[in-house]
């Protein structure tokens, strides 16, 4: 994902043509106005990482109803490690088991676990 390029002028022009202020766009995308300025000026100043800026640009283009291909030109996909499925342990591997349909057993177990946790936290 290094050195991706995007059409920042198109984003700014489209936003201005739709008469959306930077503040409104920032609120809509859950970004700061500084980050909107950074996107429109092709700067990385207010983004901690390229991947975060890329995600913000995608959200920006989607909010303006632009196609991602129109906005982002070349992205080297280094995200393959994140696209692999994550192996999560199943409930069968856990130390406790409940009988099928035993709701009261589950509720009692969870209640006891919460009580133990709260007593340990309150003692400290």
Of residues 54, 83, 52, the one with CA closest to residue 71: 54
Q: Which CATH superfamily is domain 5-75 in?
A: lambda repressor-like DNA-binding domains (1.10.260.40)
The secondary structure of the chain as a DSSP string is: -TT-EE-HHHHHHHHHHTT--HHHHHHHHT--HHHHHHHHTT--TT-SSHHHHHHHHHHHHHHTT--HHHHEEE----THHHHSPP----GGGSS----TT-HHHHHHHHHHHHHHHHHHHHH-
* CATH 1.10.260.40 placement within the chain: 5-75
Mean pLDDT, the chain, rounded, equals 78
| Residues 91-117: tens digit of each pLDDT | 445 555 655 555 566 777 888 888 888
Q: For residues 46, 17, 24 and 21, what is the CA-based torsion angle, rounded to 10 degrees?
A: 80
pTM higher than 0.75: no
| Contact present, 54 and 4 (Cβ < 8 Å) | yes
| Residues 28-62: tens digit of each pLDDT | 999 999 999 999 998 888 888 888 888 999 999 99
């Amino acid at each position: 994902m290094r050195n991706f390029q995007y059409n920042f002028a198109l984003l700014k022009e489209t936003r201005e043509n739709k008469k959306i202020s930077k503040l409104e766009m920032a609120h809509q995308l859950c970004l700061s106005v500084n980050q909107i300025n950074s996107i429109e000026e092709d700067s990385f100043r207010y983004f901690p990482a390229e991947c975060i800026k890329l995600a913000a640009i995608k959200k920006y283009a989607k909010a303006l109803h632009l196609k991602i291909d129109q906005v982002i030109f070349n992205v080297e996909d280094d995200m393959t490690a994140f696209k692999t499925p994550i192996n999560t342990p199943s409930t069968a591997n856990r130390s406790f088991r409940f009988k099928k349909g035993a709701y009261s057993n589950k509720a009692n177990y969870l209640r006891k676990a919460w009580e133990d946790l709260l007593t340990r936290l309150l003692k400290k």
